[in-house]
């Protein structure tokens, strides 16, 4: 019988923790909803002890998600466990606490400064403490792939006795090779006392580009759960890419005879959403979800695919949710067709935002002949994942030339401004965008650091909308913003103001 492998998604924790992948709490909720539609068994929503913001968003997600287990990460410390429980205690679905402690000689000696016995004692005490609150406990032996296999079996045996219901073998540094990792998993599973009372999991990083191969090798060795992220985002070279594991199991089911509960037709939408909210683009040749993954340029390939798709395609684009030829939407499209398209794109818009998105669609359709799915995604996300607007853009203008340089004027409004208050400034800059951003900084009285500014066209046509991604940092926190407009300057200003609004919102929440 086909063995079912649990998918433990850590996009919102290990993925979000990676530089440049931060999300605000609204965006995390959107991603969590999308992961639930995808059918992940467990979603790790954050590391509650790491910041009050993380605790709050784990709490919000646990209070919304019904179909997946929501997990929170903690070190083997009472304070971390208390924070995780504060975040998870109101969960709708029974939650999971994920405890970790390093077990490799190098981590124990230099990072923890603990002996093996002390590490076991610490893990057991923490699991017993966590077990008082929560029945579903996962214990991870950080840097397991560089740990002594017999020590792993020993600590897992003690962890199971103390109440761990899943034990996890992370390849924290992405160091293992597939055969070796499979052997390690088999060894640990057969030598752990009480192994029959627990589930075994792996969590693999991609430093040598082997994260998916290692995860598949562990599955073949008999483990029951894999930890992965959408688009493979994560620390350094990232984590194992969830969509690649899922599709490898599905496409090669006859050989591996394992499967997951994932609805693969939701993969493409989820991948697009994660890319949009993090501002991290998917490389074009990325397996499964890259723009070129199903593109056939070479004549000989096109000829083969036209004769029979399977000549060069081992799976269909539709199987991951890339639509076949959908009807084109434009200014004559009605509300019903628009709502259907939102549904097809996996975009759940609540009633109060639907009006706004539909109005924005109509407005865009007046300016563009054809409104693409990507245009619709951008519109919907701009409304649905938006944080409250502390600042709104009222007016802008730029003047720029090669001889005279650039200046810009901008007028923005603060949400609590009394009628008649005018916040308008003209500045010079190193280019029109720089001039406007400087003016905005002066008006808001803060000077965030611009970490990234990226612009692309949503579609390839001449009336394409420009989509800008901006990342700013302020007081050691990063904030993302997106802006979409048929005008490149306006798209940039909108992106900057949306990042500023994310920043203001977080700052306002701080005690
Ligand atoms: O990479 C790692 O070891 C981790 C653990 C917390 C599971 O992320
Ligand atoms: Zn990790």
Per-residue pLDDT tens digits for 157-194: 999 999 999 999 999 999 999 999 999 999 999 999 99
Residue nearest ligand 1's atom 5 by CA:
142
| In a domain? residue 333 | yes
Residues 378 and 403 in one domain: no
Choose the weakest-confidence range: 123-127, 376-380, 494-498. 376-380
CATH number at residue 462: 3.30.160.270
Whether the pLDDT of residue 511 is over 60: the answer is: no
Residue 206 and residue 332 in one domain: no
pLDDT in tens, 95-109: 999 999 999 999 999
Top-ranked range on mean pLDDT: pick from 243-247, 282-286, 289-293, 347-351: 243-247
In this structure, are 380 and 395 located in the same domain?
A: no
- Sheet with 449-457, side-by-side order of all strands: 449-457, 466-474, 477-485
> Which among 384, 408, 430 is the end of a domain?
384
Which string of DSSP letters, residue by residue, matches 454-487? EEEESSSSTTPPEEEEEEEEETTEEEEEEEEESS
For the CA of 168, the nearest atom of ligand 1: 7
Domain of 218: which CATH number?
3.20.20.70
pLDDT at 326: 65
| 210 and 129 housed in the same domain | yes
With tokens 């606490």, the residue in question is 97
Pocket lined around ligand 1, Cβ cut-off 6 Å: 14, 100, 140, 142, 170, 172, 203, 205
Q: Is residue 200 part of a domain?
A: yes
pLDDT for the residue numbered 332 = 83
Q: Which of 22-31, 360-369, 473-482 has the lowest mean pLDDT?
A: 360-369
Least confident of 127-141, 149-163, 269-283: 269-283
Residues 142 and 247 in one domain: yes
Sign of CA pseudo-dihedral 226, 228, 231, 232: negative
User: Considering the domain boundaries, does residue 298 fall inside one?
Assistant: no
Per-residue model confidence (pLDDT) at position 72: 98
How large is the average pLDDT for residues 233-254? 97
Specify if 299 maps to a domain.
no
Residue after which a domain boundary falls, among 278, 293, 313: 278
Q: What per-residue confidence (pLDDT) applies to 348?
A: 79
Q: Rounded CA gap, 87 and 82, in Å?
A: 9
- The per-residue pLDDT for 490 is 94
| Mean pLDDT score, 399-422 | 88
In whole angstroms, what is the distance from residue 102 CA to residue 104 CA? 6
Give the residue numbers spanning the domain of 469.
391-509
Q: Which of 44, 38, 88 has the alpha carbon at shortest distance from 346?
A: 38
- Using pLDDT thresholds of 50, 70 and 90, give the confidence band for residue 117: very high
Judged by its nearest atom, the ligand closest to the C-alpha of residue 228 is: 2
**Average pLDDT of the residues in 322-345:** 81
Are 349 and 402 part of one and the same domain? no
Strands 477-485 and 466-474: antiparallel
Residue 298, pLDDT above cutoff 70: no
Say whether both 371 and 404 belong to one domain.
Answer: no
Whether 22 and 480 have beta carbons less than 8 Å apart is answered as: yes
% of residues, the chain, pLDDT over 90? 68
Question: Is residue 302 scored above 90 in pLDDT?
Answer: no
Least confident of 50-54, 164-168, 255-259, 387-391: 387-391
Pocket test for ligand 1, best of 99, 101, 102, 203 (most atoms within 8 A of CB): 203
Judge whether residue 299 has pLDDT over 80. Answer: no
Residues 11 and 103 in one domain: yes
Report CA-CA distances (Å) from 178 to 10, 104, 373, 461.
Answer: 21, 19, 39, 44
Assess if residue 124 is contained within a domain: yes
Is residue 325 over pLDDT 80?
A: no
Question: The dihedral of CA 148, 151, 153, 159: what is its sign?
Answer: negative
Pocket test for ligand 1, best of 142, 144, 147, 175 (most atoms within 8 A of CB): 142
Q: What is the pLDDT of residue 224?
A: 97
- In three-state form (DSSP H/G/I as H, E/B as E, the rest C), the secondary structure along 73-128 is EEECCHHHHHHHHHHHCCCCCCCEEEEEEECCHHHHHHHHCCCHHHHHHHHHHHHH
Distances from the Cα of 434 to the Cαs of 121, 167, 487, 489, in angstroms?
A: 56, 51, 16, 10
Res. 297: pLDDT tops 80 = no
Residue 41's pLDDT is 98
> Do 176 and 199 share a domain, yes or no?
yes
Ligand 2 centroid to 205 CA: how many Å?
6
Please identify, by atom number, the ligand 1 atom nearest to the C-alpha of residue 14: 8
Residue 426 has pLDDT above 80, yes or no: yes
288: left (phi over 0), alpha (psi -120 to 50) or beta: left
Rounded to whole angstroms, the Cα distance separating 391 from 414 reads: 5
- How many angstroms from the chain centroid is the CA of residue 505? 20
Q: Kindly state whether residues 62 and 77 are assigned to the same domain.
A: yes
Tell me: pLDDT of 463 over 70.
Answer: no
Residue 194 lies in a domain: yes
How would residue 510 be classed by pLDDT, with cut points 50, 70 and 90?
low
Please state the domain count of the chain. 3
- Residue 356 counted as domain residue: yes
Same domain, yes or no, for 502 and 380? no
pLDDT of the residue at 411 = 93
Q: State the average pLDDT for the chain.
A: 92
CA-based nearest residue to 492, from 343, 46, 500: 500
Going by pLDDT thresholds of 50, 70 and 90, the confidence category of residue 121 is very high
Please give the share of the chain, as a percent, with pLDDT higher than 70: 96
Give CA–CA dist 471/453, Å, rounded. Answer: 7
Q: Which of 16-30, 50-64, 335-349 has the highest mean pLDDT?
A: 50-64
- Among residues 384, 407, 423, the one where a domain terminates is 384
pLDDT for 403 beyond 60: yes
Whether residue 131 is contained in a domain is answered as yes
Residues 22 and 87 in one domain: yes
- Report the first-to-last Cα separation within the chain, whole angstroms: 54
Averaged over 211-235, what is the pLDDT?
98
Nearest protein Cα to ligand 1, atom 2: 172
């Amino acid at each position: 019988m086909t063995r079912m492998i649990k998918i433990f998604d850590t996009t919102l924790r290990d993925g979000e923790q990676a530089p440049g992948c931060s999300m605000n709490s609204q965006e995390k909720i959107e991603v969590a909803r999308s992961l639930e539609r995808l059918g992940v068994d467990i979603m790790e929503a954050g590391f509650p002890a790491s910041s009050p913001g993380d605790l709050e968003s784990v709490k919000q997600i646990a209070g919304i998600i019904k179909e997946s287990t929501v997990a929170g990460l903690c070190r083997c410390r009472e304070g971390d466990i208390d924070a995780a429980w504060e975040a998870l205690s109101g969960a709708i679905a029974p939650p999971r606490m994920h405890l970790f402690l390093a077990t490799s000689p190098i981590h124990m000696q230099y990072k923890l400064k603990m002996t093996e016995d002390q590490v076991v004692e610490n893990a057991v005490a923490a699991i017993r403490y966590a077990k008082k609150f929560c029945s579903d406990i996962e214990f991870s032996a950080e840097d397991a792939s560089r740990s002594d296999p017999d020590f792993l079996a020993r600590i897992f045996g003690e962890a199971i006795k103390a109440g761990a219901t899943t034990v996890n073998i992370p390849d924290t540094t992405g160091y293992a090779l597939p055969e070796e990792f499979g052997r390690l998993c088999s060894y640990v599973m057969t030598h752990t006392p009480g192994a029959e009372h627990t589930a075994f999991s792996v969590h693999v990083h991609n430093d040598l580009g082997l994260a998916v191969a290692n995860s598949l090798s562990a599955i073949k060795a008999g483990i029951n759960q894999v930890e992965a992220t959408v688009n493979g985002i994560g620390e350094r070279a990232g984590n194992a890419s969830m969509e690649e594991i899922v599709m490898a199991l599905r496409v090669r089911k006859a050989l591996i005879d394992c499967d997951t509960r994932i609805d693969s037709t939701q993969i493409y939408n989820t991948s697009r959403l994660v890319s949009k909210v993090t501002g991290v683009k998917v490389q074009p040749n990325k397996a499964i979800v890259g723009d070129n993954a199903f593109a056939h340029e070479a004549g000989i390939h096109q000829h083969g695919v036209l004769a029979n798709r399977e000549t060069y395609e081992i799976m269909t684009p539709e199987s991951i949710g890339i639509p076949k030829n959908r009807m084109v939407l434009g200014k004559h499209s009605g509300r019903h067709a628009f709502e259907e398209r939102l549904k097809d794109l996996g975009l759940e818009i609540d009633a109060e935002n639907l009006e706004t998105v539909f109005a924005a669609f109509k407005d865009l359709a007046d300016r563009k002949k054809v409104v693409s799915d990507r245009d619709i995604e951008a519109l919907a996300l701009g409304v649905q994942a938006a944080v409250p607007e502390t600042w709104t853009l009222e007016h802008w203008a730029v003047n720029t030339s090669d001889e005279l340089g650039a200046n810009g004027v901008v007028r923005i409004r603060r949400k609590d401004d009394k009628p008649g208050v005018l916040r308008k400034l003209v500045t010079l800059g190193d280019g029109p965008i720089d001039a406007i951003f400087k003016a905005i900084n002066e008006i808001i009285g803060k000077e965030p650091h611009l970490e990234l500014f990226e612009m692309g066209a949503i579609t390839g046509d001449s009336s394409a909308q420009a989509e800008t991604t901006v990342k700013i940092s302020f007081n050691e926190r990063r904030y993302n913003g997106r802006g979409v407009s048929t005008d490149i300057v306006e798209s940039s200003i909108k992106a900057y103001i949306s990042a500023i609004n994310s920043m203001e919102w977080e700052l306002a929440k701080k005690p």
